[in-house]
Every structure is written in structure tokens, then in C-alpha cells.
């Protein structure tokens, strides 16, 4: 495996659509560090988000560098070109040092039959009974099954290889971290499929350090996990076992770990994840993004006055365009339209009412997951407001920053990193 920039064990992806919360986000990482966890901040922004907001990838680098300087952060940090493909990667090459290569679109497109046969011939170890430490029963596969999986994923992995080599030539292989993402697809990848995918990635000589599979269950935007938590835990543990096995077997980077996309707000699986990581002494990359934009809205609403006013305007526009805004996100939101309050009702709300409906506090009876999900996918409305929105962010910075930091640290990092063992002083 070639040289590569190594990624730390616990890394936290943070998205910041409007580029004003870098410091508030980094402050959450500082709190985690003070509490005894080594956490690596990674700022991520996808091509799609840059297009929606009208920003250049270099602006994310500028934001990360400025936050690091302002808070005197001495440890590693990275800038992630999130969900890039061959057609979109070029403007990300210079400012990014972490690349999430998205090959989900190629999953299921049949690979060249010759390469499927060559792959299967090259990997007799994948056929039959495969004993993997920490998985109760050996995985059982047949040649036909390996061919089926190769046929489904090999083209995607070959595409990932092409994109990796393209970045490597432009940037130098030692200068970046590679993630391969397969989460934006229809069906979850099973642990045996993951093993076959990793064998193929090793064949492509991609020094992969994080892989984002699609997990079982629904990872809706900005709300809790929906699905069978026990089944998730079982598969998550098996994925970790497969990764440890593949690192040894195929010489993949020892730093290879799972990446959980749409990882924010999945409170009911944080404890199972934490337990599994402890058991395997494994690391993790948790990718969050939109949760920070929602904290901006919460902060604005909490500020009252013109802040609350703009939050209400955004909701009023969003509910008027509910179908249009939700359509592109159909697989990652579950909105009950009957639970969406009318704009006129929301216009009469106090700060407390708006904040209670939006803030992800499941114990609050006024919390409204449908309201929250609709606003999650409505950041374009804020983008359209341009300077008026950005000026509101500046004016109400302290209250917004407090919400952003608290959300990442209290609701995300603490349960993921410390669980019940949160140091008393916090
Ligand atoms: Zn993703």
C-alpha cells in the first residue's frame, strides 16, 4: 500500500453550510479534548452543498484554517471533499486533504465479466467457510455468491480506483486521506459483502482509511435512527470484525475504520456504537452536517426579535414549498405532513415555542421531528436571503455559537466518546 496521510482514531465530520460556525464547532472538539478524548475535526462540504449555497471548496479550507488559528488548535484537522466524483473533484484537489469518493451510482451496474472472473479467481479465500474472529459462525459463501457480489460492486470499486489515482496524481499520494462512500444507495451492504468490497479495494491499491457503507435502518436527516437497534448493533459489530480481518488479510491501512454518514442526531445507536468500538478497540468517523444549520436557526429563534422573525420567514417559505423541498430527500426524511404546523400558527409563536419544536430534545413534548426535518432540507431558503441571513448570523453570533457547540459536544461527542463515563467536571 502506498504512502498516505494517516487519520486519527476518532474523527468528527462537521458541515457548516454558511461558513460561520467553524470556531463554535472547533470549540466542541476542544471540550472533548479537555475531557480526555483525542478527536480529529474534519470539515466536510459536498459538491451539492457548494452548488446550493454558491460557495467554492477553497472557502471551507479558509474557514477551517481561520478557526484553527483563532482557537490555537495544535492537533491535526482536515478538510473533506465530501461525496465527490471524477466529474466534480478537480476544484476540490488543492484545498482538501480528505476525499470522500462517492461511487454509489455505480453500484449494481454490471462490471466487465472478465474482471469479475479474474477477481473471483484471485480470491479463492472468499469462497467456502471464512472464520472471522468475533463473528460467531463462519461466513459461508459460494463461488456464485462471490460472483454476484463482485458483479454488483466491482465497477464501483474500479471507479473509486480511477478517482483515487486522479487525486493522487494531482496532489501526491502522501498528502491526503481516502474515504470510499457507498451509503447513498438503495439497500444496505451486509458484512460478507463488505469483506468482498474490501478485497476489491485492496486489489485497486486504494489506501482507504474510512469506508461508509449503507447500514441497516433509516438514517433520516437530523433526527434519531429508525430501525431495529439490536440488528444494527449486530451488523455494526460484524462490520468491525470484517474490517479488522481485512486489514490483516489484504494489507489495508491499519487506520481503516467505519464512517457513519448522516451520523448526527442518531442518539439511540450511539451507545451500541460506543460499546462496539470499545470491544474492538476500533476508531470511527462520524459525519454530521445539517445539524449545525439547525442550531443556527435555533440560535436565531432564541435571540428573538429580527432573529426569530427570519426563522419564521424561512419556515413559512419551506411549508409553502414542502413537496418541492422534500422530493430530492425522499429516502432520508420521514415527514408527517399532518404534524407540520401552519405558517400562520408559527408566526404567532414565541422564541420558546419555536426553539422547543426544533431543538432535538426528545424529552420535550413540544419537540416536532417533522418540523425539524422540513427545516433541515430548507437551507436553500436561507441561502436565497443572502446577506440578510448572513448578517443575522453575525449579529446573533454568541447565542448561535453556544447552541452549535453545545449540540455537538453534549448531544454527540459525549455519548459517543464517553457514554456513562462522562467526567464529573463536565
Ligand atoms: Zn453521505
For 389-415, the pLDDT digits (tens) are 999 999 999 999 999 999 999 999 999
Distance (angstroms) between ligand 1 centre and the Cα of 104 equals 10
* Residue 305 alpha carbon to ligand 1 centre in Å: 36
Percent of the chain whose predicted confidence (pLDDT) is above 90: 94
User: What is the whole-number distance in angstroms between the Cα of residue 303 and the centre of ligand 1?
Assistant: 32
Cα distances from 299 to residues 149, 251, 288, 393, 400, in angstroms, run 47, 47, 18, 9, 4
Q: Which of 304, 327, 307 is nearest to 380 (CA)?
A: 327
CA 128 / ligand 1 centre spacing (Å): 33
Q: Is the pLDDT of residue 425 over 60?
A: no
pLDDT for 231 equals 97
Q: Measure 188 CA to ligand 1 centroid, in angstroms.
A: 13
Span from the CA of 129 to the centroid of ligand 1 (angstroms): 32
Report the separation in Å between the CA atom of 366 and the middle of ligand 1, taken as the mean of its atom positions.
Answer: 30
Q: Give the distance (Å) from ligand 1 centre to CA of residue 185.
A: 10
Q: How far is the CA of 309 from the centre of ligand 1 (A)?
A: 32
From the CA atom positions of the chain, what is the Rg in Å? 22
What is the structure's pLDDT at 3?
86
**Distance from the alpha carbon of residue 49 to the mean position of ligand 1, in angstroms:** 12
Whether the per-residue pLDDT at 293 is higher than 90: the answer is: yes
* Predicted confidence (pLDDT) per residue in 130-179, tens digit: 999 999 999 999 999 999 999 999 999 999 999 999 999 999 999 999 99
Pairing of strands 39-46, 10-14: parallel
On whether the CB atoms of residues 115 and 155 are closer than 8 A, the answer is no
Intra-chain end-to-end CA distance of the chain, in Å: 42
Write the pLDDT tens digit of every residue in 60-82: 999 999 999 999 999 999 999 99
Amino acid at each position: 500500500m502506498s504512502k498516505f496521510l494517516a487519520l486519527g482514531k476518532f474523527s468528527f465530520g462537521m458541515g457548516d453550510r454558511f461558513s460561520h460556525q467553524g470556531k463554535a464547532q472547533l470549540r466542541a472538539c476542544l471540550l472533548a479534548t479537555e475531557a480526555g478524548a483525542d478527536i480529529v475535526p474534519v470539515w466536510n462540504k459536498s459538491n451539492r452543498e457548494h452548488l446550493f449555497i454558491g460557495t467554492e471548496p477553497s472557502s471551507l479550507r479558509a474557514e477551517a484554517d481561520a478557526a484553527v488559528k483563532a482557537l490555537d488548535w495544535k492537533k491535526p484537522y482536515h478538510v473533506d471533499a465530501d461525496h465527490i466524483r471524477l466529474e466534480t473533484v478537480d476544484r476540490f484537489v488543492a484545498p482538501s486533504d480528505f476525499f470522500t469518493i462517492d461511487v454509489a451510482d455505480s453500484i449494481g451496474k454490471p462490471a466487465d465479466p472478465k474482471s469479475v472472473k479474474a477477481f473471483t479467481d484471485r480470491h479463492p479465500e472468499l469462497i467456502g467457510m471464512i472464520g472471522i474472529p468475533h463473528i460467531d459462525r463462519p461466513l459461508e459463501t459460494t463461488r456464485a455468491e462471490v460472483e454476484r457480489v463482485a458483479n454488483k460492486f466491482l465497477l464501483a470499486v474500479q471507479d473509486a480506483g480511477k478517482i483515487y489515482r486522479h487525486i493522487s496524481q494531482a496532489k501526491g499520494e502522501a498528502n491526503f486521506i481516502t474515504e470510499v462512500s457507498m451509503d447513498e444507495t438503495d439497500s444496505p451492504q451486509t458484512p460478507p459483502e463488505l469483506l468482498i468490497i474490501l478485497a476489491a479495494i485492496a486489489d485497486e491499491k486504494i489506501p482507504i482509511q474510512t469506508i461508509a457503507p449503507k447500514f441497516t435502518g433509516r438514517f433520516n436527516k437530523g433526527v434519531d435512527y429508525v430501525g431495529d437497534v439490536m440488528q444494527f448493533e449486530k451488523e455494526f459489530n460484524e462490520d468491525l470484525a470484517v474490517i479488522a480481518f481485512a486489514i490483516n488479510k489484504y494489507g489495508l491501512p491499519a487506520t481503516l475504520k467505519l464512517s457513519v454518514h448522516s451520523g448526527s442526531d442518531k442518539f439511540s445507536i450511539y451507545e451500541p456504537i460506543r460499546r462496539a468500538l470499545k470491544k474492538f478497540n476500533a476508531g470511527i468517523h462520524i459525519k454530521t452536517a445539517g445539524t449545525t444549520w439547525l442550531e443556527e436557526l435555533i440560535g436565531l429563534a432564541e435571540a428573538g426579535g429580527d432573529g426569530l422573525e427570519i426563522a419564521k420567514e424561512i419556515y413559512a417559505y419551506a411549508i409553502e414549498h414542502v413537496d418541492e423541498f422534500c422530493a430530492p430527500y425522499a429516502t432520508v426524511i420521514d415527514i408527517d405532513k399532518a404534524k407540520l404546523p401552519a405558517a400562520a400558527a408559527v408566526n404567532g409563536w414565541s422564541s420558546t415555542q419555536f426553539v422547543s419544536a426544533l431543538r432535538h430534545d426528545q424529552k420535550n413534548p413540544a419537540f416536532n421531528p417533522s418540523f425539524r426535518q422540513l427545516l433541515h432540507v430548507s437551507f436553500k431558503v436561507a441561502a436565497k436571503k443572502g446577506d440578510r441571513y448572513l448578517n443575522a448570523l453575525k449579529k446573533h453570533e454568541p447565542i448561535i455559537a453556544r447552541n452549535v457547540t453545545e449540540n455537538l459536544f453534549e448531544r454527540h461527542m459525549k455519548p459517543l466518546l464517553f457514554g456513562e463515563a462522562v467526567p464529573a467536571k463536565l
